[in-house]
């Protein structure tokens, strides 16, 4: 029997993405009375879905990595992932297209992967084992310890041997430098540098600590929840409701009600008002600070955000194709063009790339339910800098550019068979998610924006107001957002539950 440590205290969580759902469910489990308000007509945030003409599209995340993080999340509530969706491991995990007739499938089997590396560069199989052994250590330390810390103080990381540990974790070298210590072949280098793009910057700007992402990729594998990534959200919503969370969609927040240094409630634009003892904002951090809170209670001034390095935005095309396609797998990375000089500037400055790298997801290769029989579901993504001027003619220009390359590289006509097309970019991210500068992934995980150097979980001027999601700890991506909600909930439990006196309230501790 779970003790009601929340003692009926009212919590409002704003935003029903992974972080908001995670925080709301954990607090409801601990006896808080939780309302989860979502401005859109369905939960999930960037992980929403939509259906058109028999095609079912995941709007945002399409990669399922770090399965242990999802299992850990559901296990807190006595549940398994399999209680909510069927998970399969993809094999090949993905393929990389380096040019015409130059495709490299990345196998799920470690033995086959080592053979692939060895075929490209003699001795690289042994180096891969060494690389992944070190990456496994980083993953254990990073995922099982560091990412669950709230980043309130440097003392969270103070322990004997911490400096030695930081050196072992390669915090002070770049991922680019680290990869090149082990491998020389350009194809291997580009493949090994790819996972850090999920962290919002190129390998030259990301600490080598994040080779842990290679361990997640190559050792833990690439998975897929049958039915689509939105099945994760459906499972989380079901669990949230089981625990007593009240989900309210079409609930756009007007402002936060403040009285005597306390957040007192959430005012909606349609006139509804929800009083609260505690508020957690899972919506865009900058939007909450700049638009929902009075200026006197903002955590950071506008100048703070202007100096931050944002992760990329994206230009996405959702396409329904009326025939089956060849030479594509579930996940396809198109590295047929060289990475442009100073590529980090493309992602951090308002500049459209000349020849962008792009990614194509074809989930209908795995899942027949996401497209009509005999057809394909395509998700085409081009990473772009946030803050770009987003005009329809520019979207169309890049559609033509990328589709021409896709057709040439895969050796088939595709554009003439597109029977459904929808684009999505900066202005949509702003409209739907209030995303700062139209960003898609939050803040880049550069060294200066890691752990306690990220925007804080807790408001400095309001004792009962918290933030969660990809613009705070631990960072961008689906597993980090899932973790962020748990960390924020732990802070609320620690600070607002009289029963809880343990200031080191752990991520897996549930009071019995």
What backbone torsions phi and psi does residue 85 show, to the nearest 5 degrees?
-160, 155
What is the distance between the alpha carbons of residues 86 and 496, in angstroms, rounded to a whole number? 37
Res 343 pLDDT > 60? no
Q: What is the DSSP string of 394-437?
A: HHHHHHHHHHHHHHHHHTS--GGGEEEEEEE-HHHHHHHH--GG
- Check residue 349 and give its pLDDT: 58
Residue 49 CA to residue 37 CA, distance in Å, equals 18
10 Å Cβ neighbour count for 376? 23
The pLDDT score that the predictor gives to residue 390 is: 96
- The Cα–Cα gap between 452 and 442 comes to 16
Helix (H, G, I), strand (E, B) or coil at 83: helix
CB 275 within 8 A of CB 258: no
Residue 13: the pLDDT is: 98
For 214-228, how does the pLDDT look when each residue is reduced to its tens digit (9 = 90+)? 999 999 999 999 999
Tokens of 188: 């291997």
Does the pLDDT value for residue 508 go beyond 80? Answer: no
Q: Check whether 505 has a pLDDT greater than 50.
A: no
Count of Cβ atoms closer than 10 Å to residue 346 Cβ: 22
How many Å separate Cα 192 from the centre of its chain? 19
pLDDT digits (tens, 9 = 90+) for 215-262: 999 999 999 999 999 999 999 999 999 999 999 999 999 999 999 999
Look up residue 205 and give its two tokens: 């700007």
- pLDDT single digits (tens) 37-94: 999 999 999 999 999 999 999 999 999 999 999 999 999 999 999 999 999 999 999 9
Cα→Cα distances 353→325, 430, 436, 494, Å: 27, 21, 21, 46
- pLDDT level of residue 198 (50, 70, 90 thresholds): confident
CA distance 14 to 288: 9
Higher pLDDT, 334 or 503: 334
pLDDT at 368: 97
Both tokens assigned to 196: 């850090």
Please state, as a whole number, how many other Cβ atoms lie within 10 Å of the Cβ of residue 265. 18
In this predicted structure, the answer to whether residue 2 has a pLDDT above a threshold of 80 is no
Does pLDDT of 195 surpass 80?
yes
Examine residue 240 and say whether the peptide bond preceding it is cis (omega within 30 degrees of 0).
no
In this predicted structure, the answer to whether residue 295 has a pLDDT above a threshold of 70 is: yes
Tokens of residue 500, six digits: 């809880």
Q: pLDDT tens digit string along 134-167? A: 999 999 988 877 899 998 987 777 665 555 666 6
Summarize pLDDT for 432-468 with one digit per residue, the tens.
Answer: 999 999 999 999 988 899 888 999 999 999 999 999 9
Q: What whole-number percentage of the chain has pLDDT above 70? A: 92
Residue 133, number of CB atoms within 10 A of its CB:
11
What local confidence, expressed as pLDDT, does residue 155 receive? 76
Give me the phi and psi of 265, to 5 degrees please: 175, 175
Q: Bridge-partner residues for 33, per DSSP? A: 10
First to last CA, the chain: 6
| Cα–Cα distance, 97 to 337 (Å, whole number) | 10
Residues ≥6 apart with Cβ < 8 Å to 39:
15, 250, 251, 252, 253, 283
**Cα distance between residue 290 and residue 312, in whole Å:** 21
Identify the pLDDT of residue 200: 76
Comparison of pLDDT for 238 and 3, the residue scoring more: 238
Q: What's residue 344's pLDDT?
A: 52
Q: Which residues neighbour 153 within 8 Å (Cβ) at sequence distance 6 or greater? A: 452
If you average pLDDT over every residue of the chain, what do you get?
92
Q: How far, in Å, CA of 308 to CA of 303, rounded?
A: 9
**What is the C-alpha to C-alpha distance for residues 380 and 357, in angstroms, rounded to an integer?**
11
| Tokens of residue 495, six digits | 């600070």
Whether the per-residue pLDDT at 497 is higher than 50: the answer is: yes
Q: What are phi and psi of 275, to 5 degrees?
A: -70, 155
Please give the residue that has the higher pLDDT: either 365 or 498.
365
Q: Which two tokens stand for residue 206?
A: 């990301």
Residue 511 — pLDDT band, cuts 50, 70, 90? very low
For the chain, state the CA radius of gyration.
22
Structure tokens at 150: 């709230």
Which domains can be identified in the chain, with CATH numbers? 10-82+228-307+445-496 (3.50.50.60), 111-220 (1.10.405), 308-433 (3.30.519)
> β-strands 94-99, 331-334: how paired?
parallel
Most distant CA pair in the chain: distance in Å? 68
Nearest to 391 by CA among 352, 346, 433: 352
Distance from C-alpha of 359 to C-alpha of 96, rounded to nearest angstrom: 9
Q: What gap in Å lies between CA 413 and CA 41, rounded to an integer? A: 36
Cis preceding linkage at 92, omega within 30: yes
pLDDT at 489: 98
Chain position carrying tokens 């554009």: 415
Contacts 24+ apart (CB under 8 A), 161-165: 165/141
């Amino acid at each position: 029997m779970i003790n009601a440590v929340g003692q009926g205290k009212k919590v409002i969580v704003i935003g029903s993405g992974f972080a908001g759902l995670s925080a709301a469910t954990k607090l409801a489990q601990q006896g808080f009375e939780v309302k989860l308000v979502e401005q859109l007509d369905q939960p999930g945030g960037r992980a929403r879905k939509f259906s058109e003409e028999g095609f079912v599209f995941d709007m945002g995340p399409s990669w399922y990595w770090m399965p242990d993080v999802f299992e850990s999340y559901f296990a807190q509530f006595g549940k398994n992932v399999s209680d909510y969706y069927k998970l399969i491991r993809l094999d090949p995990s993905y393929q990389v297209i380096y040019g015409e007739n130059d495709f490299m499938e990345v196998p799920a089997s470690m033995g086959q992967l080592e053979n692939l590396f060895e075929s490209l560069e003699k001795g690289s199989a042994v180096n891969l084992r060494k690389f992944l052994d070190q990456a496994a250590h980083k993953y254990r330390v990073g995922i099982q310890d560091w990412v669950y810390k709230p980043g309130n103080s440097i003392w969270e990381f103070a322990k004997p041997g911490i400096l030695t540990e930081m050196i072992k974790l390669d915090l002070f070298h770049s991922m680019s430098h680290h990869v090149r210590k082990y491998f020389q072949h350009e194809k291997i280098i580009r493949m090994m540098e790819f996972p850090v793009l999920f962290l919002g910057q190129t390998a030259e700007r990301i600490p080598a600590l994040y080779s842990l992402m290679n361990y997640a990729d190559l050792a833990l594998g690439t998975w897929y929840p049958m039915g689509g990534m939105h099945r994760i959200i459906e499972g989380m919503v079901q669990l949230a409701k089981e625990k007593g969370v009240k989900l309210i969609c079409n609930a756009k927040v007007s402002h936060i009600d403040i009285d005597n240094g306390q957040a007192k409630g959430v005012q909606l634009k349609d006139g509804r008002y929800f009083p609260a003892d505690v508020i957690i904002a899972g919506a865009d951090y900058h939007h909450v600070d700049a638009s929902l809170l009075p200026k006197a209670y903002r955590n950071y001034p506008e100048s703070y955000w202007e100096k931050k390095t944002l992760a990329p935005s994206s230009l996405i095309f959702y396409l329904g194709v009326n025939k089956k396609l060849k030479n594509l797998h579930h996940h396809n990375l198109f590295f047929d063009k060289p990475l442009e000089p100073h590529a980090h500037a493309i992602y951090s400055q308002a500049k459209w790339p000349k020849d962008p790298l792009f990614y194509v997801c074809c989930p209908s290769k795995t899942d027949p339910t996401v497209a009509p029989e005999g057809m394909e579901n395509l998700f085409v993504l081009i990473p772009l800098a946030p803050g770009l001027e987003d005009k329809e003619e520019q979207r169309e220009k890049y559609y033509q550019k990328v589709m021409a390359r896709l057709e040439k590289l895969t050796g088939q006509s595709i554009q003439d068979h597109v029977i459904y097309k929808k684009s999505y970019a900066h202005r949509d991210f702003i409209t739907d998610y209030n995303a700062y500068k139209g960003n898609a992934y939050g803040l880049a995980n550069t060294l200066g924006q890691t752990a306690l150097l990220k925007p804080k979980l807790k408001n400095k001027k309001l004792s009962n107001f918290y933030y969660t999601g990809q613009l705070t700890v631990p960072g961008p991506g689906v597993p980090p957002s899932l973790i962020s909600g748990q960390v924020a909930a732990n802070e609320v439990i620690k600070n607002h539950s009289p029963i809880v006196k343990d200031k080191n309230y752990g991520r897996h501790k549930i009071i019995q």
